[in-house]
Structure formats: structure tokens, C-alpha cells
Amino acid sequence: MDKNNYKELLSKLHHALDDKLGIDVLILDISELSSIGDYFIIVNGNNENHVNALASSVKEELHKNGHGLLHSEGTGESGWILLDSYGLIVHIFDKDTREFYNLEKMWNDAKRVELM
């Protein structure tokens, strides 16, 4: 997928997470740093149900835009859900788990993506 198509999908996913009151949505371009993917979306919810709702919203938006999931793991109960849509990896955490793993720090060399 080219960068412009990614930007459109990233924007739609950001809006979907925002509509479900996702907290601190962060998009990182990891394409020049890793072969595991092109973009990370990192977000957290308030509790188990919120994390699950955010994941459902992402899955729905991907489906509406013709994108499937390559891999999914975790649950709201575990505090972390990972959704991999062929190079676009969404990490949905509860607050404590996000702070513990601190992906923002681990991937601090990645470019932050600002959407309009």
C-alpha cells in the first residue's frame, strides 16, 4: 500500500478510535526502522470493556475499508490487544499496561504521524 492510501486509512482509524473516546492516540511511522510493519497506532482505554470496544471499532473500520486482519492477539482482560493488518499494527492498551510497556519510548526514533 502506498503512503497516501495509508494516510487515508490511518485517518479513518484515528477518527474511529476518537469516536470511541480512545485516549492519547499516537501514530508512528516505523517503516524505516523495522521490517515488521509500516505504522503503529497506539491508544489506551479506561478499562477492559473500553479496550474491547476500541478493538471492535478498529476491526469494523478495517473491514469497511476492505482491509483484513493478518493476526490478532490479546484481550481487554489481559490489558493489551494487538491487531495486525498487513503492516499496520494497532496496539490497544489499558492505562497501566501502556505505561508498563512504554512503546513510545521503545520506538522513540520513529516519526510521529500528524493527521489533519
The CA distance from 89 to 38, in Å, is: 8
* pLDDT tens-place string over residues 45-78: 999 999 999 999 999 999 999 998 999 999 999 9
* pLDDT tens-place string over residues 75-110: 999 999 999 999 899 999 999 999 999 999 999 999
For residue 25, pLDDT over 90 is answered with: yes
| Residue 96 belongs to some domain of the structure | yes
Residue 25 lies in domain = 3-108
| Residue 114 belongs to some domain of the structure | no
Q: In the structure, what pLDDT confidence band is assigned to residue 3 with cuts at 50, 70 and 90?
A: low
| Residue 34 belongs to some domain of the structure | yes
- How many separate domains does the chain show? 1
For residue 115, pLDDT over 90 is answered with: no
According to DSSP, the residues that pair with 45 across neighbouring strands are: 94
Q: Residue 5: its pLDDT value, please?
A: 72
* Sheet (strand 39-45) strand order: 71-75, 80-85, 88-94, 39-45, 23-29, 111-112
Q: Decide if 76 contacts 2 (C-beta within 8 A).
A: no
Q: Decide if 51 contacts 45 (C-beta within 8 A).
A: yes
For residue 1, pLDDT over 60 is answered with: no
Alpha-carbon dihedral sign for residues 7, 5, 31, 43: positive
| Residue 115 belongs to some domain of the structure | no
**pTM of this prediction?**
0.93
For residue 16, pLDDT over 60 is answered with: yes
Assign residue 54 the CATH number of its domain. 3.30.460.10
